[in-house]
Amino acid sequence: MNEKCLFCQIVNREESAFIVAENAKALAILDAFPVSDGHTLIITKEHFPNIATVDAKSWEYLLPLIQEVINKLKNTKLPMLPQGFNIVSNMNEIAYQSIPHVHLHIIPKYEKNHGFIWTSQPQLKYSLSAVAQKLK
């Protein structure tokens, strides 16, 4: 646990949050700054700075909790049901990770071109084959 970490404080019930699901290693909370109704964060109960540092045992609990939250959202009593989902994890400040504790966003999509919209401006310096060779 990191005493200064907001998510660790939520896990320890020192800070409040809207908890929608939980298991032994992870917690699902509504995002305090949602981009769509039902925008949920999956956070580990153990402090990991980012997704690359999560241990294998915690992954065994993260994936089922993601599925549980998605199923809850698909069966919610909100006026509209999600038509799809974005699942995103930002890693490190350069990628807009605002809290250095691993968290996965589950963002319900209700309408195309509303809410979270994935946009990019590709700035590639290498060909796909060159990158593939370097990753082997």
Rg of the chain on CA atoms, in Å: 17
> Torsion angle of alpha carbons 82, 86, 88, 93, nearest 10°?
-90
DSSP letter assigned to residue 5: -
- The answer to the question of residue 126 being in a domain is yes
Q: For residue 53, what is the DSSP state? A: G
Residue 55 lies in a domain: yes
- Determine whether 11 is exposed, middle or buried from the number of CB atoms within 10 Å of its CB (0-12, 13-18, 19+): buried
The count of domains in the chain is 1
Quote the pTM value: 0.90
The verdict on residue 1 lying in a domain is no
| Six token digits for residue 106 | 């589950």
Of residues 31 and 80, which shows the higher confidence score?
A: 31
Q: Is the pLDDT of residue 1 over 80?
A: no
Range of the domain at 49: 6-135
Domain membership flag for residue 45: yes
CATH number at residue 99: 3.30.428.10
Query: How much is the pLDDT for 115?
Result: 81
Give percent of the chain with pLDDT exceeding 70.
100
Residue 82 covered by a domain: yes
What confidence score (pLDDT) does residue 25 get?
A: 96
Closest alpha carbon to 61 in 95, 91, 15, 24: 24
Per the DSSP assignment, residues forming a β-bridge with 124 are: none
Q: Is 58 a domain residue?
A: yes
